[in-house]
Structure 1
Amino acid sequence: MAKGFVKAQQEREALILKNSVLKHFQHLRDPRVERTQKHSLVAMITIAILAVLSGADGFVAIETYGKAKQVWLETFLELPNGIPSHDTFGRVFGLLDPQELETSFLSWVSCITEKLALKLIHIDGKTTKGSYDRAGQLKALQSVSAWSSEHGLVLASAKSGEQIQ
């Protein structure tokens, strides 16, 4: 009986995740020609977000994550053509309007933080060691992020010169 309860709970959580992602990302304009849309844009964005939250740092890592978690991802995403290749992820994300994607992502994060009733958001800044260039007179690379330690969730991040909204 306990296994049945756990499975039902996982299915419920998968449905909540699917509905949440659909609500905030389904309106994004798909920049691809219709005949080249082998993979759902919402599915690709979902896989990418989950992969990055799990530590993926590039399109190859996103593809690797997708293949490793494909069985689980198929519980809430339609993946009739499997996991997109890293080239497909790169091509599609290169075509997306970054402002539109950022707006959708921040809307999604805002909804999550509201539902989780986050009370404390931590701000952390970092300077990348050895990233300055004296010859080129370039300053060191710096980044700042906002996160919830209570939930282990990065809410936003920005590099030098970018603005967190």
Structure 2
Amino acid sequence: MTLIVHLTIVRYIRSDTNRKHDLVDVIFLVISAIISGAEGWQNIETFGDNKFSWLSNHRAFENGIPRRHTIARILRSIVAETLLEALLNWVNDQRTINGKPIIAFDGKVLRGGVVDQILALYVAVPSVLPN
């Protein structure tokens, strides 16, 4: 299964009011931006604006690219365990498909991810490696 299919299990705690952006669209944007070197909400928004045509080849982005404050608000509302489960399931699929038993992780702390003593947002980028 693709990463996007795995991301559909992610849940978030957010009111239905003013819900404009699809959760999977936002997570896909954030992962793509971080893998491309984005550091912080502004960089993620800029990446989305600059790469909109590429992003929209993979996801609908019906209401365009969300602004940085919206991205941050959506990510803060994610149930972390469900995102972790989705990413681990995807990594295990990749590992199994490619027959590579080692998984390497590169981690980052997003700048601007700390709000009022709430823990920072950490992102781990997994890759499968040969023995």
Q: TM-score, normalization: structure 1?
A: 0.58
Please give the root-mean-square deviation of Cα atoms over the aligned residues, in Å. 2.6
- Equivalents in 2 of 1:79, 1:146: separation in Å? 25
Matches within 5 A, 1:41-80: 41-80=23-62
- Equivalents in 2 of 1:59, 1:73: separation in Å? 17
Letter in 1 for 2:91: V
1:101-127 deviations in whole A, cap 9, x for unaligned?
111111112212322332555578xxx
- Equivalents in 1 of 2:8, 2:49: separation in Å? 23
Equivalent residue, structure 1, for 2:99: 117
How far is 1:35 from its partner?
2.6
Aligned residue pairs, count? 113
Larger RCO, structure (CA 8 Å, separation 6 or more): 2
Q: TM-score, normalization: structure 2?
A: 0.72
Question: CA, structure 1 residues 123+20, in 2 after alignment: closer, same or farther (shift >3 Å)?
Answer: closer
* Long gaps (5+) in structure 1: 1-18, 125-144, 151-165
1:11-44 deviations in whole A, cap 9, x for unaligned?
xxxxxxxx62342121222322223210100010
**Structure 2 residue corresponding to 1:108, chosen from 79, 90, 96:** 90
Percent of aligned pairs sharing the same letter: 29
Matches within 5 A, 1:11-50: 20-50=2-32
How far is 1:147 from its partner?
4.5
